[in-house]
Structure 1
Amino acid sequence: MSNVRAHRVGEQMKKELSDIIMRELKDPRVTFVTVTGVDVTGDLQQAKVYISVLGSEEQKESTLLGLSKAKGFIRTEIGKRIRLRKTPEIMFEMDQSVEYGNRIETLLSDLNKEQR
């Protein structure tokens, strides 16, 4: 039952985080961010937030830095929007799955060209 609740909290956090980052965060470093997933531990103490950023490596690092600086504000806003006894500790990580998928697609495309 705990995993089901953690999953529901994660989905709600994903929705709220997207809204907070898009509408309420005023840091100029945080642009073109998509929240791709949120993994919440079973005890709801920690949440790993996966983000995707459109831009160069510098922009990605800058965005991660901006989000890290805004963790307190974001956590407070999450606490207001989602009624939990304790708001999970938030950790931001880059989602590598999009880049991984693009790499595989490129390799398959190159392989297909070689076969022709």
Structure 2
Amino acid sequence: MQRSNSRRAVQMGDQIMQVLASLLVQEVEDPTLQLVTITGVRLNRDFSIAEVLYTHIRGRSAEPEITKALTRAKGFLRTRLGKELKLRGIPDLRFQWDTFLEDMVYDAPPQADH
């Protein structure tokens, strides 16, 4: 996916992230999706694909189960996104576990013992 780094793409990604997070808390009734945190949304150049980054308090072991649940909820989420943001074209949602924090832990310099 060719990501867009334009200001408009970043703003739209932030709006999508806020709406999705709100929908997960307030409207989605799947217990698997409780405590899912949407950590970011990256759009491609033509805004047709939104890569939705997420984490969960249970950690990486919950990823397959949560990805399936998010995929099942995709139609509902896209419909509500269109209504909330009044978008002409609603991007396809692709869910991906956010590895940012994991990468930070593994890439951190070793601590010196004093």
Stretch deviating more after TM superposition (4-13 or 84-93): 4-13
Rg: which structure is higher?
Answer: 1
RMSD: 1.7
1:76-99 CA distance string (max 9 Å, x none): 010110111111110000000111
Residue type of the alignment partner of 2:65: S
Whether the 8 Å contact between 1:35 and 1:52 is mirrored in structure 2 is: yes
Q: Does 1:30 align with 2:60?
A: no
Give the superposition deviation at 1:37.
0.6
Cα separation, 1, equivalents of 2:30 and 2:62: 13
Unaligned residue ranges in structure 1 (runs of 5+): none
Q: Which residue of 2 aligns with 1:98?
A: 101
Q: State the aligned residue count.
A: 110
Residue type of the alignment partner of 2:42: D
Q: Which residue of 1 aligns with 2:87?
A: 84
* TM superposition score normalised by structure 1: 0.85
Give the superposition deviation at 1:49.
0.4
Cα separation, 1, equivalents of 2:21 and 2:6: 22
* TM superposition score normalised by structure 2: 0.86
Cα separation, 1, equivalents of 2:14 and 2:49: 14
Q: Which residue of 1 aligns with 2:68?
A: 65
Taking the TM superposition and a 5 Å limit, the aligned residue runs for 1:15-26 are 15-26=18-29
Give the structure with the larger helix fraction.
1
- SS at 1:50 equivalent: strand
Unaligned residue ranges in structure 2 (runs of 5+): none
Name the % identity. 28
Cα separation, 2, equivalents of 1:55 and 1:103: 19
Cα separation, 1, equivalents of 2:59 and 2:13: 28
Residue type of the alignment partner of 2:110: L
